[in-house]
Amino acid sequence: MARRNKLDKFADLDGFVNVYQNFDEKNPAASGPGGKKVDLKGHWSEGHFGNAHPLTLELACGRGEYSLALGWQYPERNFLGVDIKGARIWQGARKALQENLTNVAFLRTRIEMLDAFFAPGEISEIWITFPDPFPRDSKVNRRLTSPHFLQVYRPLLKHGGVIHLKTDDPGLYAYTLESLAETPFAHVLGHWDDIYAGELPTPELAFKTYYEGMHLEAGKTIKYVRFTLDPMP
The set of residues, in sequence order, having a beta carbon less than 8 Å from that of 122 and lying 6+ positions away, is: 41, 42, 44, 55, 156, 158
Model confidence at 82: pLDDT above 90: yes
Model confidence at 99: pLDDT above 60: yes
User: How far apart are the C-alpha atoms of 55 and 79, rounded to whole Å?
Assistant: 6
The pLDDT score that the predictor gives to residue 145 is 98
CA distance between the termini of the chain: 53
Q: Which of 132, 137, 168, 194 is catalytic?
A: 132
**Hey, where are the domains in the chain?**
2-21+32-229
Q: Any catalytic annotation for residue 12? A: no
Q: What is the 3-state secondary structure (H, E, C) of 105-134?
A: EEEECCHHHHHHCCCCCCEEEEEEECCCCC
CB 67 within 8 A of CB 81: yes
Q: What is the mean pLDDT of residues 104-125?
A: 96
Q: Which run of H or of E encompasses 213? A: helix 210-217
User: How far apart are the C-alpha atoms of 41 and 28, rounded to whole Å?
Assistant: 11
Amino acid type, 88: R
The set of residues, in sequence order, having a beta carbon less than 8 Å from that of 229 and lying 6+ positions away, is: 150, 153, 154, 157, 161, 163, 185, 186, 187
User: Using alpha carbons only, how large is the chain's radius of gyration in Å?
Assistant: 17
Model confidence at 1: pLDDT above 50: no
Give the pLDDT confidence of 159-218 residue by residue, as tens digits. Answer: 999 999 999 999 999 999 999 999 999 999 999 999 999 999 999 999 998 889 899 999
Model confidence at 25: pLDDT above 70: yes
**Average of per-residue pLDDT values in the chain:** 93
CATH of domain 2-21+32-229: 3.40.50.150
The DSSP 8-state label assigned to residue 200 in this structure reads: -
pLDDT band at 15; cut points 50, 70, 90: confident
The pLDDT score that the predictor gives to residue 211 is 85
pLDDT band at 33; cut points 50, 70, 90: confident
Q: What is the mean pLDDT of residues 103-111?
A: 96
